[in-house]
Amino acid sequence: MRLLNLVPFASSALALIVLPTNTPALVPRDTTISPSPTAAPTGIYFSTTIYDIITGVTDDQVKIPQRTITIVIPTCSHTITPDKNGYVPPGTCGALYEYYPSFGAAIFFSILFGVLSISHIFLAAKFKTRFAWVVIMGALWETISFTFRSISTRYQQSAGIELVSDLFVLLAPLWVNAFAYMVLGRLLYFFHPARTILSIPASALAFAFVTLDFISFVIQLVGGSWAGPNDPTDKVMQGVHIYMGGIGLQQFFIFVFLGMAIKFHLEMKAFERQGSLGAGKTGWMKLLWATYASLGFITIRIFFRLIQFSAGTNASTNGLVSHESYFYILEAMPMVFAISCSLVIHPGTVFPRGEKMPGLWGLIRGWLCCVKGRRGVKGLEDGVQLVGKYESLDNEGRPPTYVLTPPRKN
């Protein structure tokens, strides 16, 4: 019986050995369809794009080239219901602040900077200080920034409102910085007998530093606009690095400018000891000290930003990001004092009312006049005298005590 049961198995094995079997053909991989990028997921606030490289395969049967595919991956999902102001805890989807921003503090500084703006407008009109429009712009930009910040505290998931507030608060100090440069240029023009410092005329000095300030402005604008709240992390960090380079450049220009201001200060003290300043030429020192103080407050604010951004954007390791009080103490308050310095000692109380310093074009015309005048003058004549005569003829505001006496004719 057992042998009979083994007969079917034996016959099956014999058939497998004798009869040939069909070998499945190798189907080559389809290479006509290229991998396409995945669609961006919906219903999220942030996403990260990664690029994956699929290595190619080459053998006797198939040849597949190397491919790169793009994958969009959500980095957060909206799982927490925002409160009435749009607030969600830091680190969750849609969180723009690492703290709960204070509406009262934002309103307070909006009003404070608004009062400073109005005060500067009033004094500029009273003393006819035309160039004061520069510091007025700085105060107005601060007002705009904190006004948008107060709105942002009520719409905490609106990235556009928060971005406008950030850009204005980051760039407003450059206006106040430029105003300090213009003040020193006018101090040099109206009080220094030679009207030059290190052989640099007053108009050229002011123009050069304002131009450098504008370059720093452009760099910071680019960096600040790249570091939007909803931008990818790599782009945000690029924007932060560009902005840090801009404010670092701004601080370098301030240090160079302070060297010029100290040089002016020492020369003016020497002129005072010699009694060569002339009667009525007072007030320059208090305005210069106000300029020192204004630049000092701006420097505090710059170092705060450098330290804040260099420590990264992680709130768990950077306390300057996770506590709003640092922003108001080291950003808002220094700018209040910097703008207030020119209110305590207003340039209109020191410079001659209605007088103005010739601009760069006036300086160039003075040089051209100087070159032409030397050809027809007999004897020795100082170039500064020729420029002074041209400016007096052109009625460009030389104080009466500094009108130089024309040389005697032989």
Question: What residues have CB less than 8 Å from 40, skipping those under 6 apart?
Answer: 47, 72
Band of pLDDT at residue 228, cut at 50, 70 and 90: low
pLDDT of residue 385: 47
Mean pLDDT value of segment 179-197: 92
Report the phi/psi class of residue 26: left, alpha or beta, with left for phi > 0 and alpha for psi in -120 to 50.
beta
pLDDT of residue 274: 86
Q: Are 174 and 338 in contact (CB under 8 A)?
A: no
Q: Which of 25-34, 148-157, 223-232 has the lowest mean pLDDT?
A: 25-34
CA dihedral (397, 193, 174, 241) positive or negative: positive
Between the CA of residue 179 and those of 4, 172, 268, what are the distances in Å? 113, 12, 21
Higher-confidence residue: 25 or 167? 167
pLDDT of residue 406: 40
pLDDT digits (tens, 9 = 90+) for 194-203: 889 998 999 8
pLDDT of residue 15: 45
Domains of the chain: 103-349 (1.20.1070), 372-402 (no CATH)
pLDDT of residue 398: 42
Q: Which of 66-80, 351-365, 389-403 has the lowest mean pLDDT?
A: 389-403
Residue 27 has pLDDT above 50, yes or no: no
d(CA 159, CA 162): 5
pLDDT digits (tens, 9 = 90+) for 238-252: 888 899 999 999 999
pTM score of the predicted model: 0.71
Mean pLDDT of the chain: 78
Token pair 């690095």 in the structure block, residue? 241
Q: Are 290 and 321 in contact (CB under 8 A)?
A: no
Band of pLDDT at residue 320, cut at 50, 70 and 90: confident
* Both tokens assigned to 87: 């607030």
pLDDT of residue 165: 94
Higher-confidence residue: 243 or 379? 243
pLDDT of residue 370: 53
pLDDT digits (tens, 9 = 90+) for 349-361: 999 876 677 765 6
Residue 56 has pLDDT above 80, yes or no: no
Mean pLDDT value of segment 188-209: 91
Q: Which of 1-5, 212-216, 217-221, 287-291 has the lowest mean pLDDT?
A: 1-5
Q: Are 137 and 175 in contact (CB under 8 A)?
A: yes
pLDDT of residue 103: 96
Mean pLDDT value of segment 318-326: 86
Q: Which of 27-36, 45-54, 137-146, 221-230 has the lowest mean pLDDT?
A: 27-36
Mean pLDDT value of segment 103-119: 97
